[in-house]
Structure 1
């Protein structure tokens, strides 16, 4: 289950407010967030959704799914971030020697939703209204396209001797379709339980004991993700790059470099 704060576009349009949900009021570009000004009128929701379509270069395929264009502003923003990340990976591993401050085994950590796998068609089809049932059914199909350029970035990292980890807020019961989807999209890397971390609320790992037990999960997104990165560091890795489409994927430290991918469709606190 994705647990994020957003106000669904449809709810805004009707004046209804969905508890615990908040959308931004603008396009979140590379390494930026999207926040309105207190007391100011939010952007018109009809104009905003049109801007989101333009940003993604939205087109509807023959099967009805919504696609992002490879020459869209979104794709160009991704390319710039990925180029910077590859430059940093090369610098950190120059000459086959890791130069990171912690001198552990070099690693990168990637979020899954809208960092590795693109969910734009879900947002578009549901008019930006999230529910557990529709989201779980969507993820279970295992047919999301890769976020442009990210399989290549993973391959680039691996060629430079970097271990790749995925760290997702997806529930444990969605592990298998997510792994299947990543493999189908060309992520040629280890995707076992030691390299792919989900939010397992029924059997949380011991390193999250401060906020999660089998009886109660109280971890925020930041606690869950930062705690897992800290665990990887304790296991001998230096996370030279941490990638996410939400600031909460990146906050909390335990990474030498962070890369905020664009996502104007929802906000995860």
Structure 2
């Protein structure tokens, strides 16, 4: 399930404004709650606040874009800067460990001899779906969403193409761990390439949700007969699989808490997204 009901998502966004700062680039903050005994924030006002936060405006083609001088862009710039510093330190430490092991006659690098890697979610972590959210009044529909993904024309989340390329330049392997369906692979990969994210886009590095032929490492919650994985189980299970391939995940990036929970990462980075909520 890509997201919860729209009202739940908006309520969760309201809850976040009370105690969690977006784009901090730090470990996951307290998970927001979607229930309250107080009068909830007015949805009409909240929608206006979301547009203001993104500096949302339509371009010449009628596509809603986030403004480069918006609060959202500022939050992303701070998050990306923190992430680059963290990745840089991890890459340096891995290189130093590799040098030591080489001098001692041992191979390997990274944490406990593993290679450093980063893992990125895709939707609203790398590719911004603001236009879809506004035009559908923040209401998810599987058919319209599939069409939107297939068009492969979403803009990049600010700063993320540079962040991905930075990680690659520092010798950190880039993986993608998305809730998009396996059938949406072509659209996702094409869109990532369009925005300048052309690093590790093969099937060995891009993990999508395959409910028809689920991988063996998800056998605890998914079989060919039934997919019963929660988002956390699917994403943390995929990260565990990446670790089993000899990698140390030095950074895990997502716009949802469910992208980040479940362990199997040294650090987690929560990017801002007040438009929907995925359990």
Higher helix proportion: 2
Q: 1:213 to 1:36 in 2, by over 3 A?
A: closer
- The aligned counterpart of 2:250 is 240
Whether the 8 Å CA contact 2:6–2:140 is kept in 1: the answer is no
- The aligned counterpart of 2:100 is none
- The aligned counterpart of 2:104 is none
- Spell out the pairing of 1:209-220 with structure 2 (5 A cutoff): 209-220=219-230
Whether the 8 Å CA contact 1:36–1:42 is kept in 2: the answer is no
- Structure 2 unaligned blocks of 5 or more: 98-108
2:4 is the alignment partner of 1:5: yes
2:105 is the alignment partner of 1:107: no
| TM-score, with structure 2 as normaliser | 0.88
- The aligned counterpart of 1:227 is 237
User: How many Å separate the matches in 2 of 1:174 and 1:65?
Assistant: 22
Q: 1:206 to 1:159 in 2, by over 3 A?
A: same
- The aligned counterpart of 2:78 is 80
- Which digits, 9 at most, give the CA deviation of each residue in 1:3-42, with x for residues without a partner? 221334xxxxxxxxxxxx5432425722556546620111
SS of equivalent residue, structure 1 residue 93: helix
Q: 1:63 to 1:22 in 2, by over 3 A?
A: same
2:269 is the alignment partner of 1:253: no
User: How many Å separate the matches in 2 of 1:116 and 1:151?
Assistant: 8
Whether the 8 Å CA contact 1:29–1:262 is kept in 2: the answer is yes
- Structure 1 unaligned blocks of 5 or more: 9-20
User: How many Å separate the matches in 2 of 1:37 and 1:130?
Assistant: 21
Q: How many residues align?
A: 256
User: How many Å separate the matches in 2 of 1:164 and 1:265?
Assistant: 26
Q: 1:40 aligns with which of 34, 38, 41?
A: 38
Q: CA RMSD in A?
A: 1.7
User: How many Å separate the matches in 2 of 1:120 and 1:244?
Assistant: 16
Whether the 8 Å CA contact 2:110–2:247 is kept in 1: the answer is no
- The aligned counterpart of 1:16 is none
User: How many Å separate the matches in 2 of 1:50 and 1:190?
Assistant: 38
SS of equivalent residue, structure 1 residue 174: helix
Whether the 8 Å CA contact 2:120–2:176 is kept in 1: the answer is yes
Q: 1:216 to 1:88 in 2, by over 3 A?
A: same
- The aligned counterpart of 1:189 is 199
Shift of the alpha carbon at 1:64? Answer: 1.0
Please list every run of at least 4 consecutive aligned residues from structure 1 whose deviation after the TM superposition is greater than 4 angstroms: 31-37
- The aligned counterpart of 1:52 is 50
- Spell out the pairing of 1:172-211 with structure 2 (5 A cutoff): 172-211=182-221
Whether the 8 Å CA contact 2:9–2:275 is kept in 1: the answer is no
Shift of the alpha carbon at 1:94? Answer: 1.5
User: How many Å separate the matches in 2 of 1:102 and 1:256?
Assistant: 12
Q: 1:34 to 1:252 in 2, by over 3 A?
A: closer
- The aligned counterpart of 1:141 is 151
Structure 1 residues 99-108 or 110-119, which shifts more?
A: 99-108
- The aligned counterpart of 2:106 is none
User: How many Å separate the matches in 1 of 2:121 and 2:229?
Assistant: 17
SS of equivalent residue, structure 1 residue 216: coil
